[in-house]
Amino acid sequence: MIFIIIGVIIILLHFLGFGPMAAWTWNLTGDLWKFCVPFALAAVWWAWADGTGLTKRREIEKMEARKRERREKNLVSLGMDKMAKRAKKAGK
């Protein structure tokens, strides 16, 4: 995502006429490649992340964290959380 943001910032700076990007041209023989580099890097990153399974692992980790939080919340609402068990043992 950071590469996309950088690419959009470069394009905005070009159109606003700020910095060295203001002098870049859109010609195929000119500076067009400078505008395309961040987007190409984003495509390479996404291909690598999908190919190695990084994206799927992150998705599974998020799902597992949500399941853990939901279980803990349900146990607390039922009075079956760890703290309730400790309180019962200490009270006996």
Q: Has this prediction a pTM greater than 0.75?
A: no
Of 71, 18, 10, 67, the closest CA to residue 41 belongs to: 10
Please, what is the Cα angle at 51 between 59 and 46, to 5 degrees? 75
DSSP-assigned letter for residue 28: T
Cα dihedral: 56, 61, 67, 70 (round 10): -130
Question: What are the helix (H) ranges across 1-92?
Answer: 2-16, 32-52, 54-78, 82-91
pLDDT by residue for the chain (92 residues), tens digit each? Answer: 899 999 999 889 888 888 888 888 887 777 788 888 999 999 999 999 888 888 888 889 999 999 999 998 888 888 887 666 655 665 55
